[in-house]
Amino acid sequence: MKRITILGATGSIGVNTLEIIADNPHDFTVYALTAHQNISLLYEQCLQFKPRYVVLASADLAQTLSEKLKQTESKTRVLYGESALIEVVTADEVDVVMAAIVGIAGLKPTYAAVEKGKTILLANKEALVTAGEIFMAAVKHHNAILLPVDSEHNAIFQCLPCANKYYDDKAVSRIILTASGGPFRDKLLTELQHITPDQACAHPNWKMGRKISVDSSTMMNKALEVIEAYWLFDVPYNKIEVLIHPQSIVHSMVEYHDGSFLAQMGSPDMKTPIAYAMYYPNRHKINVSKLNFVKKPLSFEALDGERFRVIPLVYEILKYKNYSATITLNAANEVLVNAFLAEKIQYLQIIKYIEHTLKMCHFDCPKTIDDVIRIDQDVRTFVRDLLK
Ligand code: NAD
Ligand code: MG
């Protein structure tokens, strides 16, 4: 029986994780669940999973949930704020942390779990994008176990040589990240002017949170994933390739020097990579739809770097080891995607303003997590001023 804390329990990854736990009640016990604001779902989760703690963003929200729970038999204690997030991942009772908060908001609690040498199931790619060098050094130093949940990275992890889950240039020649191309792959840029948030969030293959769905449509998600792979597998930037694969069946591949390609395939359902990470190194039977290769032929296309400019941009950043720019990229994207979702800017302005921000904002490489947070805040201020 493993004791788990789920950061971001009310999100798409959090809910999928809890569904696996519900089907396997003897394998996991829930120590803590956290959510930003979704009290009603967190309330339901409290009754079903009986966590020892839940954490919300503010005192007001915590008070409201606490009062609701008092009318039930629940013994769950309701906490709030960043220090509580850190408490519920670092507690001695916790074996495993699912890091599934969206955005840089997940960095501090996830990093705290690393410093405690926990086993971390990492969905929160923005933690690695913004703080990769510091984060991976801490993983090594504290002997934390980092298991990728992001489907591409989970696939690569499964396809790398067993003994060494890092890039090993004696055996491996390339890592190939697949990308569906999102909902607008076949549209001209000129057709994207009036795209609405709901259109951008309607991913053809995956059902995900709204921020990552918009990122998938702009290809920013793949740009973040190139950075994620770079840090996670310690792979040179020019050994990572992005390949368009519209069906999202091949989740990624590793090419070996002997000409072999190992690919991990499966239905586009996050339960598969989540369960792989939860049960690693074993395999566990879960409820996912089976693949039918006859019904769904596989195809691949080269990525159009002129159309999806953010991909070449990320390779430039990694080539020059300009790591503060990965924080700038992420912060600008978070603010701009939120502005787009709130219908304050148009779809095409997301990438346009990101490019402008990268041109205007320059910082030294961060040495600590506090440096990362400071750069993130400065960039957010810059972008918000831009939008005024
Ligand atoms: P989501 O928007 O559905 O859920 C986000 C969760 O984080 C919610 O529980 C929310 O309450 C919490 N949260 C949001 N802002 C917060 C804040 N400021 N402080 C504390 N908690 C906060 O997102 P998601 O789609 O589940 O994605 C979560 C992470 O997993 C992201 O980093 C995403 O890139 C990654 N990921 C998701 C998928 C997917 O299929 N959904 C796939 C791969 C990777
Ligand atoms: Mg992914």
DSSP per-residue string spanning 196-238: -HHHHH--SS----HHHHHHHHHTHHHHHHHHHHHHHTT--GG
CA of residue 8 to ligand 1 center, whole Å: 6
Three-state DSSP at 268 gives coil
Cis peptide before 246 (omega within 30 of 0): no
**Does residue 333 surpass a pLDDT of 80?**
yes
Environment class of 128 (CB within 10 Å of its CB; exposed 0-12, middle 13-18, buried 19+) = buried
pLDDT confidence band for 163 (50 / 70 / 90): low
Q: Count of residues for the chain? A: 388
Q: Which atom of ligand 1 is nearest to the CA of 215?
A: 34
pLDDT confidence band for 296 (50 / 70 / 90): confident
Which residue of 10, 104, 153, 212 sits with most ligand 1 atoms within 8 Å of its CB, as the best mutation to test the pocket? 212
Ligand nearest to the CA of 12: 1
Q: Which atom of ligand 1 is nearest to the CA of 210?
A: 2
Give ligand 1 pocket residues (Cβ under 6 A).
8-14, 35-36, 38, 57, 100-102, 105, 123-126, 150, 206, 208-209, 211-212, 270
Domains and CATH numbers, the chain: 2-148 (3.40.50.720)
Mean pLDDT of 132-142: 98
Torsion (CA) 327, 370, 365, 112 in degrees, nearest 10: -80
Q: Whose CA is closest to 317, among 237, 244, 382, 379?
A: 237
Cross-strand pairs, 240: 175
- pLDDT the model gives residue 225: 98
Which residue's CA is the closest to the ligand 1 atom numbered 2? 209
Token couple for 334: 């978070």
Q: Whose CA is closest to 252, among 229, 274, 277?
A: 229
Mean pLDDT of 12-33: 98
Which residue's CA is the closest to the ligand 1 atom numbered 31? 102
* Contact criterion met (CB below 8 Å) for 288 and 266: yes
Residue in the structure block whose two tokens are 């989740």: 251
pLDDT in tens, 83-129: 999 999 999 999 999 999 999 999 999 999 999 999 999 999 999 99
Is pLDDT larger for residue 382 or for residue 185?
Answer: 382
Which residue of 61, 208, 267, 270 sits with most ligand 1 atoms within 8 Å of its CB, as the best mutation to test the pocket? 208
Q: What is the edge-to-edge ordering of all strands in the sheet holding 53-56?
A: 77-80, 53-56, 28-34, 2-7, 96-99, 119-122, 145-148
Ligand nearest to the CA of 229: 2
Token couple for 252: 């990624």
* DSSP result, 161-208: -TT--S--TTTEEEEEEEE---TTTTS-GGGGTT--HHHHH--SS---
Triad 169, 263, 273: Cα angle to 5° = 105
Q: Strands 28-34 and 2-7: what pairing?
A: parallel
Answer whether 0.95 is exceeded by the pTM. Answer: yes
Residue 90 to residue 97: CA distance in whole angstroms: 9
Ligand nearest to the CA of 205: 1
For ion ligand 2, residues whose CB falls within 5 Å: 150-152
Give Dmax (Cα) for the chain.
64
Triad 129, 11, 371: Cα angle to 5° = 30
CA of residue 163 to ligand 1 center, whole Å: 31
CA of residue 42 to ligand 2 center, whole Å: 25
Mean pLDDT of 362-383: 98
Which residue of 10, 13, 87 sits with most ligand 1 atoms within 8 Å of its CB, as the best mutation to test the pocket? 13
Mean pLDDT of 253-278: 97
